[in-house]
Amino acid sequence: MIVFLSQSGIANTSLLRTKTVPRRVLALGLLLVPRASVFSAVLWRALLDHMVARCLLALSPFVIALIIWPGLALPIAGAPLLMFLAIWLFERHVLSIASAEKRRALISEDGAGRVIDRLRLASEAVLSQIGAARDLTDGRLWLVVEQSALARMPPLTLVSVLYETDGIEILDLDKETEGDVRRTLFPGPMDERDLLRANLSQNQQVRQFSIEPRGISAHARLAALAARPVSA
């Protein structure tokens, strides 16, 4: 599940303010609210990445027990350590893979290297296309790919494009560009899952890649010029 960190991609646009690259969201435990229907899986998956939502889910058996057996209200209320243990077990052993050895066994070292190399090449292609389309000639363009560390959930991937000159701006992408970025970064159905395995094995949630727009080839700039709509 891919969410673009942009004005059109998320509802809580306060996350778009940053003074550093990369802009971390999931790794800091910040609340991410995609612009999506309440029936959309990506919205609920993103909300589940917030600690409060996970705590509520971990404690849901206690709520169910109270509904079925109201007489347990006092014993349950007097057992905060049991609730803490439930949250800890849910975090460590239901949603995550606690063992570093087990995480490394998810993918071979060579396999993880190939996944990251493929992502790097795709990111540089994406940045060249965006820089050429916007006719950028200075500064630095960054593409940041951040993934949730919840190993036993569907992958949640946050993609952002940042332009660094005197300050840092997170660029807003139109739907066509978002589609191109999505297809370039993750062309296969398992590519997002492969990246998750590589990230878990190397214990790294954020990948960042950059180019200098002045190095974009003339061919890429001509292609971007040819793709622009002709004004009436």
Cα torsion for 196, 199, 203, 208, to the nearest 10°?
-130
Contact assessment for residue 30 and residue 13, using Cβ atoms and an 8 Å cutoff = no
Position 232 scores a pLDDT of 43
Q: What is the tens place of the pLDDT at every residue in 32-56?
A: 999 888 888 889 888 888 888 888 8
Q: What is the tens place of the pLDDT at every residue in 60-107?
A: 777 777 677 776 666 666 667 777 888 888 777 778 887 888 888 889
What pLDDT band is residue 2 in, cutting at 50, 70 and 90?
very high
Closest CA to 7 of 205, 175, 176: 175
Cα torsion for 12, 18, 21, 22, to the nearest 10°?
-20
- Where are the domains positioned within the chain? 2-29+107-227
Cis link prior to 22 (omega < 30° from 0)? yes
pTM comes to: 0.84
